[in-house]
Homo-oligomer: A and B are copies of this chain.
């Protein structure tokens, strides 16, 4: 029983309820918080992070912690990608490049988190750092020449992507740069994706390259610390996620989706990706609860709009309406309902008309600086 008995007047057995805070937080309940993003027609929306370190390279946690963090934070799949060439803990920790995956995988299996074997090929620019995932034996990537390491990964069927192309220590004259070596890798089927987001950094140029060169978009944490050191996971903050639109929840389906470029970026509360993914994500998240409202005379009406996802969408009006004053901006917080205030403009003719109100979603970009266009449909009955 969780009642708390008050010190009572005259024996009366009134009781006081404990705040629900208590049950959730004392002691900490080991729990998974789902990331609420809708599935798309034909695809499940898997939340993934494909760039993660452990004590087996320069990370600071044991590999099983990565599976536990992923489970608690609602992820479906992670790749463990310790550095092949950089192992500052090697005086104390095994240099077997497969071990971190094996340990993380064991705990992942218990929790039904998909754990993918990967490695970070860690070279100077060009080509910089690349992650190879879906490996069968990471040891084979320990080669002298970077070309051999990449080929060894590809020979295992790996999917390979360029990490943090705008990372400051590897810039060229202070600029992010696509090198001829990257063209070559793409042409030889040795590079299939690119990190558009790494940690808290977004690289618009990488975003453009991904669109132009048909590379798969990635958004990964590149986490080294316990994840709570870098993300306020209890305060609405979230780690960067690569959304994978997969036919099912399996490693094979993730791999198939990556090679087919079915991903989007979810980072810092923003979505980046192709319109064919962002539009259904928005449409399946946002509903007009009151599709029909009445405005009397020069009055107003509130349209109630619910956002069932965890993303807070920021909408900006694309154009004005003849008969209606529509707010210039509306914020749709995740898991909440808000009011869109409509006002009669001028003296509208009496009668009912449908409006497809056009908005741009400022935090859903189909390309750098290109917000997604959406419409909210509402019927308005103008009366006297």
B-contact bits for A41-77, CB 8 A (1 contact / 0 none): 0000000000000011001111011001000100000
For the complex, give the distance between the alpha carbons of A65 and B230 in Å. 13
For the complex, give the distance between the alpha carbons of A28 and B229 in Å. 8
- Most chain B beta-carbon contacts within 10 A, residue among A20, A31, A200: A20
For residue A145, give the distance in angstroms from its CB to the closest CB of chain B.
Answer: 28
Number of interface residues of A (CB under 8 A): 105
For the complex, give the distance between the alpha carbons of A347 and B232 in Å. 39
For residue A167, give the distance in angstroms from its CB to the closest CB of chain B.
Answer: 9
Residue of B nearest to A299 (CB): B110
- Judge whether A352 is part of the interface by a CB distance below 8 angstroms: no
Of A1-9, A119-127, A179-187, A372-380, the one contacting chain B is A1-9
For the complex, give the distance between the alpha carbons of A29 and B9 in Å. 20
- Judge whether A253 is part of the interface by a CB distance below 8 angstroms: no
Q: Are A92 and B94 in contact (CB under 8 A)?
A: yes
Q: Are B338 and A32 in contact (CB under 8 A)?
A: yes
Q: Are A338 and B229 in contact (CB under 8 A)?
A: no
Which of B9, B93, B197 sits near A171, CB closer than 8 Å? Answer: B9
For residue A188, give the distance in angstroms from its CB to the closest CB of chain B.
Answer: 28
- Judge whether A314 is part of the interface by a CB distance below 8 angstroms: yes
Q: With A1-B369, A29-B333, A202-B3 known to touch, is A268 a contact of B61 (CB < 8 Å)?
A: no
Residue of B nearest to A58 (CB): B62
Within 8 A of B (CB), among A8-53: 9-34
This chain's copy number in the assembly: 4
For residue A38, give the distance in angstroms from its CB to the closest CB of chain B.
Answer: 15
Residue of B nearest to A102 (CB): B92
- Judge whether A363 is part of the interface by a CB distance below 8 angstroms: yes
Q: Are B269 and A17 in contact (CB under 8 A)?
A: yes
Which of B92, B226, B230, B238 sits near A99, CB closer than 8 Å? Answer: B92
Which of B17, B31, B32, B311 sits near A200, CB closer than 8 Å? Answer: B17
Residue of B nearest to A94 (CB): B92
Q: Are B338 and A19 in contact (CB under 8 A)?
A: no
For the complex, give the distance between the alpha carbons of A238 and B19 in Å. 8
Q: Are A26 and B32 in contact (CB under 8 A)?
A: no
For the complex, give the distance between the alpha carbons of A335 and B238 in Å. 17
A-B contact pairs, 21 of them (CB 8 A): A12-B175, A12-B176, A13-B166, A13-B205, A14-B201, A15-B201, A15-B202, A17-B267, A17-B268, A18-B22, A18-B268, A19-B232, A19-B237, A19-B268, A22-B22, A27-B200, A30-B338, A31-B338, A32-B337, A65-B226, A92-B93
